[in-house]
């Protein structure tokens, strides 16, 4: 903070400046640069309540997330109640809730279901800002459950109006949101109203998803390179270039020559970006971390939060997560089928190669980084290998180490106390 900005007054004093020389009378009537920045720049306080002033667009944009996060739930409840009141809605709800164990034999279903929990890693970045991360996980699952009722009740109405089984109108993927559901809305009274509400909800859900994804990447990069990105303005610059790069990369998904080609690229990314390769990486990573670092992770969490997690998490890290990931990966490999679009278009070989390159790009960075650290280290190859395989000395202490330090400190304090008493007696 400085006093050279347009919002500063003559009474501004930069208390953090070096060689500060000021009289006592001036200090009494002065305000700090941080105070003036908060009151005059951020809040833009007026002279009183009678002065209305103009809207502070910067603060308004900061609270836009309150609208984007709550409005989709309002619209979801509206669409849910509307869908449940339609004729044939019960047929769709029964189809939605009826268990079908044979679907677990489909490797694609198990692979997609297993890859969905990988997105939970981004919640750690949110946890650094709020303590409601656990409730967000429950809210995510609850939202998916409620959304199923809203969607399948409308699909049941659509099947009832057309006189066909619901299996013939239920679709998966983008076709559900952009084909089946709009067709069902067209059969309702006031179809334009329901279509506008539905697509506004879809847009806002996409924005909220991007908020979390971008924040996870930015927070991770700031933790990885704090000396570079934690300076003034660096985070905003990195955020600008990252969003610009994502925008430029997604231009391939909206390309058009004579007909739309971008949907093929979108499906290629959607199928390979989070595929079975991520499950393989997750199983190997979870097994290695669980076997060698589960206790260390517990110590780190206890060192930060002063509370030790439940041992159920350790069982998941060591055994359950690697086992489920490996089984899902094996099933996806055994029953692998080449990607097709609408069951008739077969991608060329170079497109499959591009897809597998995309799938491997997320996991090859880890051994690549390890190889780079191994080559850039000092000492012999064996010394560098042992150095990278051993935990950092700055990691939190384990329970045994902490107990040993307490015992050592207690013994030392007793010896010092006895020595002081002996000296006083003499």
Binding residue numbers for Na(+): 140, 205, 208
Q: Which contiguous run of DSSP H or E holds residue 31?
A: strand 31-32
- Tallying the residues shown for the chain, one arrives at 426
Query: Angle, nearest 10°, between helix axes 381-389 and 349-376?
Result: 100
Q: CA-to-CA distance for 46 and 42, rounded, in angstroms?
A: 12
Tokens of 347: 């991608």
In a 3-state reduction of DSSP, which class is residue 425? Answer: helix
Residue 20 vs residues 12, 14, 15, 51, 218: alpha-carbon distances, Å: 13, 8, 7, 37, 37
Cβ atoms 349, 271 nearer than 8 A = no
Q: CA-to-CA distance for 297 and 396, rounded, in angstroms?
A: 9
278 burial (CB, 10 Å; 0-12 / 13-18 / 19+) is buried
- Binding-site residue positions: 140, 205, 208
- Specify the residue for token string 């012999």: 380
State the distance between the two ends of the chain, measured CA to CA, in whole angstroms. 59
Angle CA 171–175–178, to nearest 5: 130
148 burial (CB, 10 Å; 0-12 / 13-18 / 19+) is middle
């Amino acid at each position: 903070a400085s006093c050279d900005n347009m919002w500063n007054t003559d009474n501004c004093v930069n208390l953090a400046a070096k060689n500060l020389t000021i009289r006592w009378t001036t200090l009494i009537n002065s305000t700090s640069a941080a105070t003036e920045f908060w009151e005059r720049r951020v809040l833009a306080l007026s002279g009183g309540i009678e002065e209305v002033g103009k809207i502070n667009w910067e603060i308004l944009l900061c609270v836009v997330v309150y609208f984007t996060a709550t409005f989709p739930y309002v619209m979801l409840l509206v669409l849910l109640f509307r869908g449940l009141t339609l004729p044939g809605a019960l047929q769709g709800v029964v189809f939605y809730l009826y268990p079908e164990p044979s679907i677990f034999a489909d490797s694609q279903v198990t692979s997609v279901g297993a890859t969905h929990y990988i997105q939970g890693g981004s919640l750690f970045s949110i946890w650094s800002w709020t303590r409601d991360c656990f409730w967000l996980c429950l809210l995510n699952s609850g939202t998916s459950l409620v959304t199923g009722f809203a969607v399948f009740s409308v699909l049941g109405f659509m099947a009832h109006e057309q006189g066909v089984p619901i299996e013939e109108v239920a679709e998966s993927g983008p076709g559900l949101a952009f084909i089946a559901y709009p067709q069902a809305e067209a059969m309702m009274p006031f179809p334009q109203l329901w279509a506008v509400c539905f697509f506004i909800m879809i847009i806002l859900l996409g924005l909220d998803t991007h908020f979390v994804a971008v924040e996870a990447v930015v927070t991770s990069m700031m933790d990885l390179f704090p000396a570079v990105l934690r300076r003034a303005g660096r985070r905003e610059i990195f955020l600008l270039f990252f969003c610009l790069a994502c925008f430029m990369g997604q231009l391939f998904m909206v390309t058009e020559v004579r007909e739309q080609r971008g949907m093929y690229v979108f499906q290629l990314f959607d199928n390979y970006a989070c595929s079975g390769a991520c499950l393989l990486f997750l199983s190997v990573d979870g097994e290695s971390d669980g076997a060698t670092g589960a206790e260390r992770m517990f110590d780190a969490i206890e060192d930060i939060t002063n509370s030790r997690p439940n041992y159920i998490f350790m069982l998941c890290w060591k055994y359950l997560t690697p086992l489920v990931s490996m089984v899902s990966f094996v099933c996806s490999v055994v029953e692998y089928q080449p990607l097709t679009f609408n069951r008739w278009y077969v991608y060329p070989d170079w497109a499959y190669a591009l897809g597998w390159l995309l799938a491997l790009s997320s996991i090859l960075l880890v051994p690549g980084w390890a190889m780079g650290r191994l080559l850039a280290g000092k000492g012999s190859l064996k010394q560098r290998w042992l150095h990278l395989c051993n935990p950092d000395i700055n990691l939190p202490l384990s329970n045994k180490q902490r107990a040993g330090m307490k015992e050592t400190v207690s013994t030392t304090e007793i010896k010092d106390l006895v020595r002081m008493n002996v000296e006083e007696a003499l």
